[in-house]
């Protein structure tokens, strides 16, 4: 795996950051898809898993809505 997030992953991080700032919790997988132009929830989940592996996000449970941004 490349050490750097892809442009799409950076777009997802930005969308999550903005959503949390506005709503106080992470967006759903579908909401992230809408925000970044991905229609497949599987594609969104894949990108989220990649970000989690890099330590850029984490979850407090199995749901992505509990996502927290890393450092």
Domains of the chain, by residue range, sit at: 7-69
Tokens at residue 36, please?
């970044």
Encode pLDDT of 13-69 as tens digits. 999 999 999 999 889 899 999 999 999 999 999 999 999 999 999 887 776 766 778
Contact 57, 36 (CB under 8 A): no
Domain covering 7-69 in this structure, CATH number: 1.10.10.10
Spatial distance between the Cα atoms of 20 and 14, rounded to a whole number of angstroms: 10
Q: What helix, strand, coil percent values describe the chain, rounded to 5?
A: 60, 10, 35
State CA 70 to chain mean position distance: 11
* pLDDT score, position 30: 92
- Dihedral sign from CA coordinates of 28, 29, 35, 40: negative
């Amino acid at each position: 795996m490349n050490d750097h997030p892809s442009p799409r992953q950076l777009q997802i991080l930005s969308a999550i950051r903005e959503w949390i700032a506005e709503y106080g919790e992470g967006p759903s997988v579908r909401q992230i898809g809408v925000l970044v132009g991905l229609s497949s929830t599987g594609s969104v989940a894949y990108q989220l898993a990649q970000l989690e592996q890099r330590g850029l996000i984490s979850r407090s449970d199995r749901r992505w809505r509990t996502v927290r941004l890393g450092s």
